[in-house]
Structure 1
Amino acid sequence: MIQAIAWFRAIRKTGAPEEASHAMTGITQPMRRGPWRYLGDGDILIAAGVTLVALVASLGLLYVAHLVRVWRVATRSPLQAAAPRTLLVFGRKLVDGQPEADFVGRLDRARANAFEGFAPQVLLLGGRSDGGTVSEAEAGQQWLQGAGWPASVPLLLEQESVDSLENLRHARDILRREGRVPSVALVTSRYHLARCLYLARRLAFDAMPVAAEATFPGGYRYVRRMALEAGYLMWIDTGYRWARLTGNQRVVARLS
Protein backbone atom coordinates (compact mmCIF):
# COMPACT_ATOMS: atom_id res chain seq x y z
CA MET A 1 0.00 0.00 0.00
CA ILE A 2 2.82 2.41 0.88
CA GLN A 3 4.52 1.66 -2.44
CA ALA A 4 1.30 2.31 -4.34
CA ILE A 5 0.88 5.69 -2.61
CA ALA A 6 4.50 6.54 -3.49
CA TRP A 7 3.78 5.78 -7.14
CA PHE A 8 0.73 8.05 -7.30
CA ARG A 9 2.66 10.83 -5.53
CA ALA A 10 5.49 10.50 -8.06
CA ILE A 11 3.03 11.04 -10.91
CA ARG A 12 1.39 14.07 -9.27
CA LYS A 13 4.66 15.67 -8.21
CA THR A 14 6.81 15.17 -11.32
CA GLY A 15 4.59 13.89 -14.07
CA ALA A 16 7.52 11.65 -15.01
CA PRO A 17 6.37 8.13 -15.90
CA GLU A 18 9.91 6.74 -15.57
CA GLU A 19 10.08 7.80 -11.91
CA ALA A 20 6.65 6.36 -11.32
CA SER A 21 7.85 3.16 -12.97
CA HIS A 22 10.70 2.87 -10.46
CA ALA A 23 8.23 3.30 -7.60
CA MET A 24 6.06 0.51 -9.03
CA THR A 25 8.90 -2.01 -9.32
CA GLY A 26 8.40 -3.38 -5.83
CA ILE A 27 4.70 -3.90 -6.51
CA THR A 28 4.96 -5.66 -9.87
CA GLN A 29 8.09 -7.72 -9.17
CA PRO A 30 6.19 -10.67 -7.57
CA MET A 31 3.91 -10.85 -10.64
CA ARG A 32 6.87 -11.66 -12.92
CA ARG A 33 6.86 -15.21 -11.57
CA GLY A 34 4.31 -17.98 -11.44
CA PRO A 35 0.91 -17.81 -13.11
CA TRP A 36 0.46 -14.06 -12.50
CA ARG A 37 2.81 -13.09 -15.30
CA TYR A 38 0.34 -14.58 -17.81
CA LEU A 39 -2.74 -12.63 -16.72
CA GLY A 40 -2.39 -10.28 -19.68
CA ASP A 41 -2.52 -13.22 -22.12
CA GLY A 42 -5.98 -13.80 -23.59
CA ASP A 43 -5.33 -17.49 -24.29
CA ILE A 44 -4.35 -18.08 -20.68
CA LEU A 45 -7.40 -16.24 -19.37
CA ILE A 46 -9.66 -18.32 -21.60
CA ALA A 47 -7.97 -21.44 -20.23
CA ALA A 48 -8.66 -20.19 -16.70
CA GLY A 49 -12.33 -19.63 -17.53
CA VAL A 50 -12.71 -23.07 -19.12
CA THR A 51 -10.98 -24.64 -16.11
CA LEU A 52 -13.40 -22.90 -13.75
CA VAL A 53 -16.40 -24.13 -15.73
CA ALA A 54 -15.00 -27.69 -15.80
CA LEU A 55 -14.31 -27.53 -12.06
CA VAL A 56 -17.86 -26.49 -11.25
CA ALA A 57 -19.38 -28.97 -13.71
CA SER A 58 -17.40 -31.82 -12.16
CA LEU A 59 -18.43 -30.75 -8.63
CA GLY A 60 -14.76 -30.36 -7.75
CA LEU A 61 -13.75 -33.85 -8.86
CA LEU A 62 -11.44 -32.42 -11.54
CA TYR A 63 -9.37 -30.72 -8.84
CA VAL A 64 -9.40 -33.82 -6.65
CA ALA A 65 -8.03 -35.90 -9.54
CA HIS A 66 -5.12 -33.50 -10.01
CA LEU A 67 -4.48 -33.31 -6.27
CA VAL A 68 -4.24 -37.10 -6.16
CA ARG A 69 -1.82 -36.96 -9.09
CA VAL A 70 0.38 -34.39 -7.34
CA TRP A 71 0.26 -36.44 -4.12
CA ARG A 72 1.18 -39.72 -5.82
CA VAL A 73 4.17 -38.25 -7.64
CA ALA A 74 5.30 -36.42 -4.48
CA THR A 75 5.17 -39.48 -2.25
CA ARG A 76 6.43 -42.13 -4.69
CA SER A 77 9.32 -40.43 -6.47
CA PRO A 78 12.79 -41.89 -5.88
CA LEU A 79 15.88 -40.12 -4.56
CA GLN A 80 18.11 -41.38 -7.32
CA ALA A 81 17.95 -41.69 -11.09
CA ALA A 82 17.27 -45.23 -12.28
CA ALA A 83 20.37 -45.02 -14.49
CA PRO A 84 22.85 -42.26 -15.39
CA ARG A 85 20.84 -39.34 -16.80
CA THR A 86 21.35 -35.64 -17.32
CA LEU A 87 19.99 -33.93 -14.21
CA LEU A 88 17.78 -30.86 -14.63
CA VAL A 89 17.80 -29.01 -11.30
CA PHE A 90 14.97 -26.50 -10.93
CA GLY A 91 15.83 -23.21 -9.25
CA ARG A 92 13.76 -21.22 -6.82
CA LYS A 93 13.54 -17.54 -5.90
CA LEU A 94 16.71 -16.43 -4.13
CA VAL A 95 16.78 -14.73 -0.74
CA ASP A 96 19.38 -11.94 -0.63
CA GLY A 97 21.08 -13.52 -3.62
CA GLN A 98 21.39 -16.93 -1.93
CA PRO A 99 19.49 -20.23 -2.37
CA GLU A 100 16.77 -20.73 0.24
CA ALA A 101 15.94 -24.04 1.96
CA ASP A 102 13.96 -25.71 -0.84
CA PHE A 103 16.56 -24.79 -3.45
CA VAL A 104 19.39 -26.04 -1.23
CA GLY A 105 17.56 -29.35 -0.90
CA ARG A 106 17.39 -29.68 -4.69
CA LEU A 107 21.06 -28.83 -5.08
CA ASP A 108 22.10 -31.28 -2.39
CA ARG A 109 20.11 -34.09 -4.04
CA ALA A 110 21.79 -33.35 -7.38
CA ARG A 111 25.17 -33.36 -5.64
CA ALA A 112 24.48 -36.78 -4.10
CA ASN A 113 23.46 -38.23 -7.48
CA ALA A 114 26.57 -36.77 -9.11
CA PHE A 115 28.92 -38.30 -6.52
CA GLU A 116 27.13 -41.65 -6.84
CA GLY A 117 27.73 -41.71 -10.59
CA PHE A 118 24.16 -41.09 -11.77
CA ALA A 119 24.79 -37.73 -13.46
CA PRO A 120 26.98 -37.51 -16.57
CA GLN A 121 26.10 -33.79 -16.63
CA VAL A 122 23.93 -31.39 -14.65
CA LEU A 123 21.92 -28.43 -15.95
CA LEU A 124 20.97 -25.79 -13.36
CA LEU A 125 17.80 -23.90 -14.27
CA GLY A 126 16.67 -20.40 -13.35
CA GLY A 127 17.10 -16.76 -14.26
CA ARG A 128 17.19 -13.63 -12.08
CA SER A 129 14.34 -13.81 -9.60
CA ASP A 130 14.99 -11.30 -6.83
CA GLY A 131 15.93 -8.20 -8.83
CA GLY A 132 19.61 -8.87 -8.23
CA THR A 133 22.50 -9.52 -10.57
CA VAL A 134 22.89 -13.23 -9.79
CA SER A 135 20.67 -15.79 -11.50
CA GLU A 136 19.20 -18.76 -9.66
CA ALA A 137 21.38 -21.05 -11.79
CA GLU A 138 24.54 -19.09 -10.98
CA ALA A 139 23.72 -19.02 -7.26
CA GLY A 140 23.18 -22.78 -7.42
CA GLN A 141 26.53 -23.27 -9.12
CA GLN A 142 28.27 -21.22 -6.43
CA TRP A 143 26.59 -23.26 -3.69
CA LEU A 144 27.57 -26.58 -5.29
CA GLN A 145 31.15 -25.52 -5.81
CA GLY A 146 31.34 -24.37 -2.21
CA ALA A 147 29.89 -27.66 -0.96
CA GLY A 148 32.25 -29.70 -3.14
CA TRP A 149 31.51 -30.89 -6.65
CA PRO A 150 33.01 -33.79 -8.65
CA ALA A 151 35.29 -32.29 -11.30
CA SER A 152 34.31 -35.00 -13.80
CA VAL A 153 30.65 -33.86 -13.94
CA PRO A 154 30.01 -30.76 -16.11
CA LEU A 155 27.73 -28.05 -14.74
CA LEU A 156 25.67 -26.21 -17.36
CA LEU A 157 23.61 -23.08 -16.62
CA GLU A 158 20.23 -21.96 -18.01
CA GLN A 159 19.78 -18.36 -16.84
CA GLU A 160 16.94 -16.87 -18.94
CA SER A 161 13.76 -18.40 -17.51
CA VAL A 162 11.35 -17.31 -14.79
CA ASP A 163 8.99 -20.31 -14.58
CA SER A 164 9.02 -24.09 -14.96
CA LEU A 165 7.82 -24.15 -18.57
CA GLU A 166 10.53 -21.70 -19.64
CA ASN A 167 13.07 -23.71 -17.62
CA LEU A 168 12.30 -26.79 -19.69
CA ARG A 169 12.02 -25.09 -23.07
CA HIS A 170 15.38 -23.36 -22.62
CA ALA A 171 16.94 -26.53 -21.23
CA ARG A 172 15.81 -28.42 -24.35
CA ASP A 173 17.41 -25.76 -26.56
CA ILE A 174 20.70 -25.99 -24.64
CA LEU A 175 20.78 -29.78 -24.79
CA ARG A 176 19.96 -29.77 -28.51
CA ARG A 177 22.98 -27.56 -29.10
CA GLU A 178 25.05 -30.13 -27.23
CA GLY A 179 23.70 -32.86 -29.53
CA ARG A 180 20.78 -35.26 -29.16
CA VAL A 181 18.52 -34.47 -26.20
CA PRO A 182 19.41 -37.12 -23.60
CA SER A 183 17.20 -38.86 -21.06
CA VAL A 184 16.81 -36.57 -18.05
CA ALA A 185 15.99 -36.71 -14.36
CA LEU A 186 14.02 -33.76 -12.96
CA VAL A 187 15.38 -32.77 -9.55
CA THR A 188 13.05 -30.58 -7.51
CA SER A 189 10.95 -30.46 -4.37
CA ARG A 190 8.33 -33.18 -4.01
CA TYR A 191 5.40 -30.75 -4.24
CA HIS A 192 6.76 -29.44 -7.56
CA LEU A 193 7.51 -32.75 -9.27
CA ALA A 194 4.11 -33.53 -10.85
CA ARG A 195 3.92 -30.22 -12.71
CA CYS A 196 7.52 -30.46 -13.92
CA LEU A 197 7.03 -34.05 -15.06
CA TYR A 198 3.83 -33.15 -16.92
CA LEU A 199 5.49 -30.24 -18.73
CA ALA A 200 8.63 -32.22 -19.53
CA ARG A 201 6.67 -35.03 -21.14
CA ARG A 202 4.58 -32.54 -23.14
CA LEU A 203 7.87 -31.17 -24.45
CA ALA A 204 8.89 -34.71 -25.48
CA PHE A 205 11.57 -35.25 -22.83
CA ASP A 206 12.30 -38.79 -21.73
CA ALA A 207 12.03 -37.73 -18.10
CA MET A 208 11.77 -39.23 -14.63
CA PRO A 209 11.31 -37.45 -11.29
CA VAL A 210 13.91 -37.32 -8.50
CA ALA A 211 12.76 -35.94 -5.16
CA ALA A 212 14.85 -33.41 -3.26
CA GLU A 213 13.58 -34.34 0.20
CA ALA A 214 14.53 -37.71 1.68
CA THR A 215 10.94 -38.25 2.88
CA PHE A 216 7.64 -36.47 2.38
CA PRO A 217 7.82 -33.51 4.81
CA GLY A 218 4.12 -33.03 5.59
CA GLY A 219 2.92 -30.11 7.70
CA TYR A 220 0.67 -27.16 6.80
CA ARG A 221 3.20 -25.37 4.60
CA TYR A 222 3.81 -28.42 2.46
CA VAL A 223 0.15 -29.40 2.16
CA ARG A 224 -0.65 -25.83 1.09
CA ARG A 225 2.01 -25.99 -1.61
CA MET A 226 0.63 -29.32 -2.81
CA ALA A 227 -2.85 -27.80 -3.02
CA LEU A 228 -1.53 -24.87 -5.08
CA GLU A 229 0.37 -27.20 -7.40
CA ALA A 230 -2.79 -29.22 -8.03
CA GLY A 231 -4.52 -25.99 -9.07
CA TYR A 232 -1.69 -25.00 -11.41
CA LEU A 233 -1.62 -28.46 -12.97
CA MET A 234 -5.40 -28.49 -13.43
CA TRP A 235 -5.22 -25.08 -15.13
CA ILE A 236 -2.41 -26.13 -17.48
CA ASP A 237 -3.86 -29.52 -18.38
CA THR A 238 -7.44 -28.30 -18.91
CA GLY A 239 -6.24 -25.33 -20.95
CA TYR A 240 -4.10 -27.60 -23.12
CA ARG A 241 -6.97 -30.02 -23.74
CA TRP A 242 -9.29 -27.15 -24.61
CA ALA A 243 -6.72 -25.74 -27.03
CA ARG A 244 -6.42 -29.13 -28.73
CA LEU A 245 -10.19 -29.41 -28.95
CA THR A 246 -10.63 -25.92 -30.43
CA GLY A 247 -7.56 -26.01 -32.65
CA ASN A 248 -5.74 -23.19 -30.86
CA GLN A 249 -2.23 -23.84 -32.16
CA ARG A 250 -0.71 -20.95 -30.21
CA VAL A 251 -1.36 -22.71 -26.91
CA VAL A 252 -0.54 -26.16 -28.26
CA ALA A 253 2.81 -24.86 -29.55
CA ARG A 254 3.77 -23.65 -26.07
CA LEU A 255 3.58 -27.19 -24.78
CA SER A 256 5.21 -29.03 -27.66
Structure 2
Amino acid sequence: MAGRLAVRVAGALVTAAVLLTGSTALAIWWTARQDARPDSDAIVVLGSAQYNGVPSSIFEARLEHALRLYEDGVAPRIVTVGGRAAGDEFSEAEAGRQYLAEAGVDEDALLAVEEGVDTLESMRAVGAEFDDRGWQTAVLVTDPWHVLRAERMAEDAGITASSSPTRQGPAVHTRTTQFRYILRETAAYLLYRATGESVAGAPGIG
Protein backbone atom coordinates (compact mmCIF):
# COMPACT_ATOMS: atom_id res chain seq x y z
CA MET A 1 0.00 0.00 0.00
CA ALA A 2 2.75 2.42 1.00
CA GLY A 3 4.64 1.57 -2.18
CA ARG A 4 1.63 2.31 -4.36
CA LEU A 5 1.05 5.60 -2.57
CA ALA A 6 4.67 6.60 -3.13
CA VAL A 7 4.36 5.78 -6.84
CA ARG A 8 1.18 7.84 -7.12
CA VAL A 9 2.75 10.79 -5.32
CA ALA A 10 5.84 10.60 -7.53
CA GLY A 11 3.65 10.40 -10.61
CA ALA A 12 1.62 13.40 -9.50
CA LEU A 13 4.79 15.42 -8.89
CA VAL A 14 6.18 14.54 -12.30
CA THR A 15 2.88 15.44 -13.94
CA ALA A 16 2.76 18.76 -12.10
CA ALA A 17 6.32 19.57 -13.12
CA VAL A 18 5.58 18.76 -16.76
CA LEU A 19 2.42 20.89 -16.73
CA LEU A 20 4.22 23.80 -15.06
CA THR A 21 7.08 23.66 -17.54
CA GLY A 22 4.74 23.37 -20.50
CA SER A 23 2.48 26.21 -19.37
CA THR A 24 5.49 28.46 -18.76
CA ALA A 25 6.93 27.73 -22.21
CA LEU A 26 3.52 28.48 -23.73
CA ALA A 27 3.31 31.76 -21.79
CA ILE A 28 6.77 32.75 -23.06
CA TRP A 29 5.76 31.93 -26.64
CA TRP A 30 2.47 33.83 -26.33
CA THR A 31 4.00 36.90 -24.67
CA ALA A 32 6.71 36.99 -27.33
CA ARG A 33 4.02 37.47 -29.98
CA GLN A 34 2.53 40.55 -28.29
CA ASP A 35 3.58 44.14 -28.94
CA ALA A 36 2.44 46.73 -26.39
CA ARG A 37 3.53 50.33 -26.81
CA PRO A 38 1.41 52.57 -24.56
CA ASP A 39 2.48 56.13 -23.82
CA SER A 40 5.13 55.71 -21.14
CA ASP A 41 7.72 57.59 -19.13
CA ALA A 42 10.60 55.84 -20.89
CA ILE A 43 11.63 53.19 -23.37
CA VAL A 44 14.06 50.80 -21.67
CA VAL A 45 16.50 48.91 -23.89
CA LEU A 46 17.92 45.77 -22.28
CA GLY A 47 21.64 45.52 -22.95
CA SER A 48 23.56 42.91 -24.86
CA ALA A 49 27.15 42.47 -25.98
CA GLN A 50 29.18 45.38 -27.33
CA TYR A 51 32.65 45.43 -28.80
CA ASN A 52 34.76 48.52 -28.05
CA GLY A 53 31.62 50.65 -28.01
CA VAL A 54 30.04 49.03 -31.07
CA PRO A 55 26.78 47.17 -30.28
CA SER A 56 26.55 43.52 -31.31
CA SER A 57 23.94 42.56 -33.91
CA ILE A 58 21.50 41.53 -31.16
CA PHE A 59 21.98 44.83 -29.32
CA GLU A 60 21.77 46.87 -32.52
CA ALA A 61 18.41 45.29 -33.38
CA ARG A 62 17.08 46.33 -29.97
CA LEU A 63 18.44 49.87 -30.32
CA GLU A 64 16.94 50.32 -33.78
CA HIS A 65 13.57 49.14 -32.50
CA ALA A 66 13.76 51.55 -29.55
CA LEU A 67 14.63 54.36 -31.94
CA ARG A 68 11.49 53.68 -33.98
CA LEU A 69 9.37 53.68 -30.83
CA TYR A 70 10.92 56.99 -29.76
CA GLU A 71 10.28 58.54 -33.18
CA ASP A 72 6.68 57.31 -32.97
CA GLY A 73 6.25 59.23 -29.70
CA VAL A 74 5.84 56.24 -27.38
CA ALA A 75 8.01 57.92 -24.72
CA PRO A 76 10.03 61.14 -24.44
CA ARG A 77 13.24 59.37 -23.46
CA ILE A 78 15.23 56.16 -23.92
CA VAL A 79 17.05 54.36 -21.12
CA THR A 80 19.90 52.06 -22.11
CA VAL A 81 20.94 49.42 -19.63
CA GLY A 82 23.92 47.19 -18.91
CA GLY A 83 27.22 47.16 -17.09
CA ARG A 84 30.82 46.71 -18.14
CA ALA A 85 32.42 43.28 -18.43
CA ALA A 86 35.93 42.73 -17.09
CA GLY A 87 38.44 44.39 -19.39
CA ASP A 88 35.84 46.37 -21.36
CA GLU A 89 36.34 50.08 -21.94
CA PHE A 90 32.64 50.68 -22.57
CA SER A 91 29.55 49.52 -20.71
CA GLU A 92 26.60 48.12 -22.66
CA ALA A 93 24.52 51.10 -21.53
CA GLU A 94 27.09 53.63 -22.74
CA ALA A 95 27.54 51.87 -26.08
CA GLY A 96 23.76 51.96 -26.54
CA ARG A 97 23.50 55.60 -25.53
CA GLN A 98 26.27 56.56 -27.95
CA TYR A 99 24.64 54.60 -30.80
CA LEU A 100 21.32 56.39 -30.27
CA ALA A 101 22.97 59.80 -29.95
CA GLU A 102 24.73 59.24 -33.28
CA ALA A 103 21.34 58.24 -34.74
CA GLY A 104 20.00 61.67 -33.86
CA VAL A 105 18.37 61.25 -30.45
CA ASP A 106 18.81 64.36 -28.30
CA GLU A 107 21.32 63.85 -25.48
CA ASP A 108 18.75 65.11 -22.97
CA ALA A 109 16.42 62.28 -24.00
CA LEU A 110 19.01 59.59 -23.22
CA LEU A 111 19.91 57.97 -19.91
CA ALA A 112 22.56 55.26 -19.57
CA VAL A 113 22.18 53.02 -16.51
CA GLU A 114 25.62 51.43 -16.38
CA GLU A 115 24.86 48.73 -13.83
CA GLY A 116 24.08 45.05 -13.99
CA VAL A 117 25.67 41.95 -15.42
CA ASP A 118 22.30 40.29 -15.95
CA THR A 119 18.66 41.27 -16.37
CA LEU A 120 17.82 41.14 -12.67
CA GLU A 121 20.62 43.47 -11.59
CA SER A 122 19.89 45.80 -14.49
CA MET A 123 16.16 46.03 -13.78
CA ARG A 124 16.80 46.74 -10.11
CA ALA A 125 19.15 49.57 -11.11
CA VAL A 126 16.57 50.93 -13.56
CA GLY A 127 13.89 50.68 -10.88
CA ALA A 128 16.02 52.82 -8.57
CA GLU A 129 16.53 55.42 -11.31
CA PHE A 130 12.79 55.50 -12.03
CA ASP A 131 12.06 55.97 -8.34
CA ASP A 132 14.54 58.86 -8.07
CA ARG A 133 12.97 60.63 -11.05
CA GLY A 134 9.34 59.91 -10.24
CA TRP A 135 8.87 57.79 -13.37
CA GLN A 136 6.52 54.82 -13.24
CA THR A 137 5.87 53.35 -16.68
CA ALA A 138 8.17 51.78 -19.25
CA VAL A 139 8.10 49.97 -22.55
CA LEU A 140 10.80 47.30 -22.51
CA VAL A 141 12.73 46.49 -25.67
CA THR A 142 14.41 43.11 -25.79
CA ASP A 143 14.23 39.84 -27.72
CA PRO A 144 10.77 38.22 -27.90
CA TRP A 145 11.66 35.19 -25.78
CA HIS A 146 13.09 37.37 -23.03
CA VAL A 147 9.95 39.48 -22.61
CA LEU A 148 8.04 37.51 -19.97
CA ARG A 149 10.97 37.33 -17.53
CA ALA A 150 12.05 40.92 -18.17
CA GLU A 151 8.53 42.21 -17.51
CA ARG A 152 8.30 40.23 -14.28
CA MET A 153 11.64 41.53 -13.05
CA ALA A 154 10.69 45.10 -13.99
CA GLU A 155 7.38 44.82 -12.13
CA ASP A 156 9.21 43.43 -9.09
CA ALA A 157 11.53 46.47 -9.28
CA GLY A 158 8.53 48.79 -9.04
CA ILE A 159 8.09 49.61 -12.73
CA THR A 160 4.75 49.32 -14.53
CA ALA A 161 6.10 47.56 -17.61
CA SER A 162 4.89 46.74 -21.09
CA SER A 163 7.03 45.27 -23.85
CA SER A 164 7.62 45.83 -27.53
CA PRO A 165 10.04 43.07 -28.56
CA THR A 166 12.33 43.15 -31.55
CA ARG A 167 11.38 41.20 -34.65
CA GLN A 168 14.82 41.24 -36.23
CA GLY A 169 18.27 40.01 -35.30
CA PRO A 170 19.91 36.64 -34.60
CA ALA A 171 17.51 35.71 -31.79
CA VAL A 172 14.62 35.33 -34.22
CA HIS A 173 16.30 34.14 -37.41
CA THR A 174 15.48 30.42 -37.34
CA ARG A 175 12.98 28.15 -35.63
CA THR A 176 15.87 26.19 -34.12
CA THR A 177 17.20 29.36 -32.51
CA GLN A 178 13.73 30.31 -31.30
CA PHE A 179 13.17 26.88 -29.78
CA ARG A 180 16.52 26.99 -27.99
CA TYR A 181 15.79 30.42 -26.54
CA ILE A 182 12.32 29.37 -25.37
CA LEU A 183 13.76 26.34 -23.57
CA ARG A 184 16.40 28.44 -21.87
CA GLU A 185 13.96 31.16 -20.90
CA THR A 186 11.55 28.60 -19.48
CA ALA A 187 14.25 27.34 -17.13
CA ALA A 188 15.40 30.88 -16.28
CA TYR A 189 11.87 32.12 -15.56
CA LEU A 190 11.03 29.15 -13.34
CA LEU A 191 14.31 29.61 -11.47
CA TYR A 192 13.55 33.28 -10.88
CA ARG A 193 10.02 32.58 -9.65
CA ALA A 194 11.26 29.85 -7.33
CA THR A 195 14.36 31.53 -5.91
CA GLY A 196 14.29 35.22 -6.85
CA GLU A 197 17.67 34.75 -8.52
CA SER A 198 18.78 35.29 -12.10
CA VAL A 199 20.82 33.02 -14.33
CA ALA A 200 23.93 33.81 -16.34
CA GLY A 201 24.11 32.70 -19.93
CA ALA A 202 23.46 33.97 -23.42
CA PRO A 203 24.34 37.61 -24.04
CA GLY A 204 21.86 40.06 -22.71
CA ILE A 205 19.35 37.58 -21.33
CA GLY A 206 20.90 36.48 -18.07
Spell out the pairing of 1:107-256 with structure 2 (5 A cutoff): 107-129=63-85, 131-149=87-105, 151=106, 154-178=109-133, 180-213=134-167, 217-240=173-196
- Report the CA distance between 1:153 and its aligned residue: 5.7
Shift of 1:204: 2.7
Contact kept in structure 1, 2:52 and 2:89, CA below 8 Å = no
State how far apart, in whole Å, the 2-side matches of 1:175 and 1:109 are: 21
> Residue 169 of structure 1: CA displacement?
0.8
CA separation in 2, counterparts of 1:101 and 1:130?
A: 21
What's the counterpart of residue 72 of structure 1?
30
The aligned amino acid for 2:66 is A
CA shift, 1:233, in A, is: 0.2
Q: Distance in 2 between matches of 1:152 and 1:235?
A: 38
Structure number, greater radius of gyration: 1
Please say if residues 95 and 130 of structure 1, whose CA atoms lie closer than 8 Å, have aligned partners that are also in contact: no
Distance 1:144 1:132 in 2: 20
The share of aligned pairs that are identical, in percent, is 27
In structure 2, C-alpha distance between the alignment counterparts of 1:95 and 1:124, rounded to whole Å:
16
Q: For the residues of structure 2 that align with 1:214 and 1:189, how far apart are their CA atoms?
A: 9
Structure 1 residues 148-187: Cα deviation after superposition (integer angstroms, max 9, x where no partner): 32x2861001112111111111111112222x23211111
Give the TM-score normalised by the residue count of structure 2.
0.80
Question: What is the TM-score when the length of structure 1 is the normalising length?
Answer: 0.65
- Residue ranges of structure 2 left out of the alignment (5+ in a row): 1-11, 197-206
Cα distance in 2 for partners of 1:142, 1:148 equals 10
CA displacement, residues 169-225 of structure 1 (integer Å, 9 cap, x when unaligned): 1111112222x2321111111111111011112223211111122696542112201
Sort the Cα spacing of 1:225 and 1:95 in 2 relative to 1 into closer, same or farther, 3 A.
farther
Aligned to 1:76, what secondary structure does the other structure show?
coil
Q: Contact 2:142/2:166 (CA < 8 Å) preserved in 1? A: yes
Partners of 1:64 and 1:188 lie apart in 2 by 23
RMSD: 2.3
Q: Return the letter of the residue paired with 1:109.
A: H
Range with bigger deviation, 116-125 or 87-96 = 87-96
Amino acid at match of 1:119: A
Aligned pair count?
183
